[in-house]
Structure 1
Amino acid sequence: MTRFHKITIGIFCSGVLLTGSGAGVAFGEFSSLAYGGTEVVGETNMVTRDISREIDPEQGVWNIDGYWDTAPEVEADESIPENTVLFRITYNQAMVEPRIEETVQEDEYYDNDADTWRQTRTPALELHCYWENTDESDFQNLMEAKDKVLAGLKRGELISVVGAPHIEQVQIFYNPVNEKDLRL
């Protein structure tokens, strides 16, 4: 074995030793981190608003849909007037403005028995959210998330970062008399 071979084998072995010790130190540092919870980036200004809409049972069974970010809580309440649906929405006022819109959903399907196309028209109340803050920057949120992650690492914590919620909670109340007039 020549002198050159001995030197290259020595360099290789010292590289493996340094890599192993570096990986051990990194694993030790990572193992010492604790979970620091969840941090929210973006502007958050949560408010609760009640929006009520009247329905006409003669138009048929009303669909209630259009939820964002969360499953609704649906409850019959005798204090709600007949033919009225009350939406209680907790939302981020800095990002969205909720509106309840009355629409007609049209479905077209082929009826094999009658060998013809049929169409159904179903009235609906839909929850729509219109963006309020179009100036919010994804890059700004990314930099804020980076700062929160780095601050957590300095404290010895790993954190989860999520964007500000649009809608936190949707509650739908209706009079029990109208239960047969609603499809939720």
Structure 2
Amino acid sequence: MRRIHVILLGIFITGVLLGGIGTGIAFGEYSTMEYGGTVMLGEEYLVTGELIYEFEPVPGEKIAVNPINWGRTYGKSALEMDESLPMGTICYDVTYNSKLTIPNLYYWEEENPESVYAGETSEEGAYGENEGDAESSQISINEETVPVEEAAPEKENVPDEESVPEKTSVIVGYLEIHTNYIGSEFELLMKDKDNILQNLKQKKINSYETAYITDVKVRVNPDMMEYIEDRTMY
């Protein structure tokens, strides 16, 4: 719940206490109230739907599935394998409050894609320096060039193959879930006011949170992992 709504809710509950409920709740009785836990406002409006992103898999290219900020535990991936899905499909299963939000997928690209190596991710672009390396590795033959066998570099100048990470792919785009906010939190609060007042009469006080997006799972075909960089756990 955003800070302004927490403040408004606090003002509302304080006003109820000051004004009295039914026979009245005095400040002297406040210390006897029990904490009833967290109440999720708008749970009755939660629905689960699918968001589909489709693309043409290209060997050597990956799409990064970006971190998910709703309903996730940091350090745990949201990616699940589903053999029923076709290649080139990324499916998001999203549980959200249909009265307050509309989730959507957002895909974007960078001008300089990231190079992805076996065992690590490099911040250096896949193009530029790498292209220069490829160009300089070509051998041009002319009258002044010594024979290739004589021009072979000395052994100490040859990089150790085991020390050079193997470049497997390049990240060309990023996919993430966004949401458009609709409706009003205050409206949900007013619809639930009878329960709030009833709890106060019973000397119970709760904390209130608003349900927006409560859970996100991402499903892909297992063979798609060659074309996906999983970042959902971050």
TM-score bracket, normalised by the shorter chain, equals 0.5 to 0.7
- Distance, in Å, in 2 between the alignment partners of 1:160 and 1:66 is 28
- Report the counterpart of residue 228 of structure 2 in structure 1: 182
5+ residue gaps, structure 2: 1-26, 114-122, 130-169
CA contact 1:89–1:170 (8 Å) conserved in 2: yes
In the alignment, does 2:100 pair up with 1:95? Answer: yes
- Report the counterpart of residue 77 of structure 1 in structure 2: 82
- Distance, in Å, in 2 between the alignment partners of 1:159 and 1:65 is 34
- Distance, in Å, in 2 between the alignment partners of 1:89 and 1:67 is 11
Question: 1:174: how far off?
Answer: 0.4
2:101 partner amino acid: V
- Report the counterpart of residue 7 of structure 1 in structure 2: none
Out of 160, 165, 169, the position equivalent to 2:207 is 160
Matched position secondary structure for 1:67: coil
- Report the counterpart of residue 64 of structure 2 in structure 1: 63
- Report the counterpart of residue 18 of structure 1 in structure 2: none
Matched position secondary structure for 1:75: strand
Matched position secondary structure for 2:225: helix
5+ residue gaps, structure 1: 1-24, 115-119
Greater RCO (Cα-Cα under 8 Å, separation 6 or more): 2
CA contact 1:66–1:128 (8 Å) conserved in 2: no
Matched position secondary structure for 2:109: strand
Question: 1:183: how far off?
Answer: 1.5
CA contact 1:106–1:121 (8 Å) conserved in 2: no
1:39-59 CA deviation, whole Å, 9 max, x = no partner?
234685111111221133327
Structure 2-normalised TM-score?
Answer: 0.51
In the alignment, does 2:152 pair up with 1:126? Answer: no
Label 1:44 to 1:94 Cα distance change in 2 as closer, same or farther (>3 A). farther
The alignment covers a number of residue pairs equal to 147
- Distance, in Å, in 2 between the alignment partners of 1:79 and 1:121 is 25
Structure with greater strand percent: 1
CA contact 1:47–1:91 (8 Å) conserved in 2: yes
In the alignment, does 2:54 pair up with 1:54? Answer: yes
- Distance, in Å, in 1 between the alignment partners of 2:209 and 2:195 is 11
- Distance, in Å, in 1 between the alignment partners of 2:84 and 2:190 is 48
Matched position secondary structure for 2:96: strand
